[in-house]
């Protein structure tokens, strides 16, 4: 029994040594294979067009290029998409011009306002040459309407910023026809007392709305931002 146990004890290291020997002997062979593969891959890459070091640097370069593309899209993408982008100065001026038509057409509702506040007429002094020419030409309003609609709002070669403001100005000008139609149907004639005060209030309300719309549009166009008028802006956006 004792001899048999000693044989087992002495046999265990021998077996361990037998098992460990191949592993130890394989290590130099594995190292040589790894070196050979690395050398072959280096030769293959150098024989082609890209070295392994350049391949390892490619992800960082691609990340930087992707970030640059995203930054460029964020800066200029909103210009064609409806606002907030870097709109060129010529487009800002062109986008503001259509709003002169509803402003000039709305002057008919300003008579009571300027009679109560004559000092405010100074605000329209720069528009006097344009207004005199506009009201002197026959059918100037109708010609301007179709010129803005066909030449700007429906002109796909222009930017969306210009086309949106042109369409918004057209719809605003159409809305100014409604008070005139109501006045024509009701035919107020000569009013006095409370009726005349209500008549003046309606005129002043329409004129102040036109002034507010023009001021908001002017700020938006000159700053390169897309400002939507209540209800009118959504209608203009749906038309594009």
Residues 6+ apart with CB under 8 A from 174: none
* pLDDT tens sequence for the chain (240 residues): 333 433 343 444 444 343 444 444 444 444 443 344 343 443 333 334 444 444 344 444 443 444 433 333 333 334 454 444 589 999 999 999 999 999 999 999 998 999 888 888 888 888 889 999 999 998 998 999 999 999 999 999 999 999 999 999 999 999 999 988 888 877 766 767 777 888 889 999 999 999 999 999 999 999 999 999 989 999 999 988
d(CA 41, CA 46): 8
Give phi and psi for 126, each to the nearest 5: -65, -20
d(CA 226, CA 215): 13
Contact 120, 114 (CB under 8 A): yes
Which one, of 151, 192, 186, 153, lies nearest residue 171 by Cα?
Answer: 153
C-alpha of 165 from chain center:
14
Q: Which pTM does this prediction carry? A: 0.63
């Amino acid at each position: 029994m004792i001899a048999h146990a000693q044989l087992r004890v002495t046999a265990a290291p021998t077996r361990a040594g037998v098992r460990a020997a191949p592993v130890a002997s394989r290590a130099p062979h594995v190292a040589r294979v790894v070196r050979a593969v690395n050398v072959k891959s280096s030769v293959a890459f150098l024989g082609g067009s890209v070295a392994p070091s350049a391949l390892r640097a490619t992800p960082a370069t691609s990340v930087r290029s992707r970030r640059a593309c995203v930054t460029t899209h964020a800066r200029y993408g909103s210009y064609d998409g409806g606002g907030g982008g870097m709109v060129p100065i010529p487009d800002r001026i062109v986008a503001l011009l259509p709003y002169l038509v509803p402003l000039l057409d709305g002057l008919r509702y300003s008579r009571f306002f300027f009679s109560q506040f004559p000092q405010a007429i100074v605000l329209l002094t720069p528009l006097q040459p344009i207004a005199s020419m506009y009201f002197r030409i026959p059918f100037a309003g109708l010609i301007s309407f179709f010129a803005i609609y066909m030449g700007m709002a429906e002109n796909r070669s222009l930017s969306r910023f210009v086309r949106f403001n042109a369409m918004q100005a057209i719809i605003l000008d159409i809305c100014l026809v409604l008070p005139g139609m109501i006045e024509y149907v009701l035919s107020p004639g000569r009013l006095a007392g409370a009726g005349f005060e209500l008549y003046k209030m309606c005129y002043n309300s329409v004129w102040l709305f036109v002034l507010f719309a023009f001021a908001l549009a002017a700020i938006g166009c000159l700053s390169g931002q897309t400002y939507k008028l209540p209800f009118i802006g959504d209608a203009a956006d749906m038309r594009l």
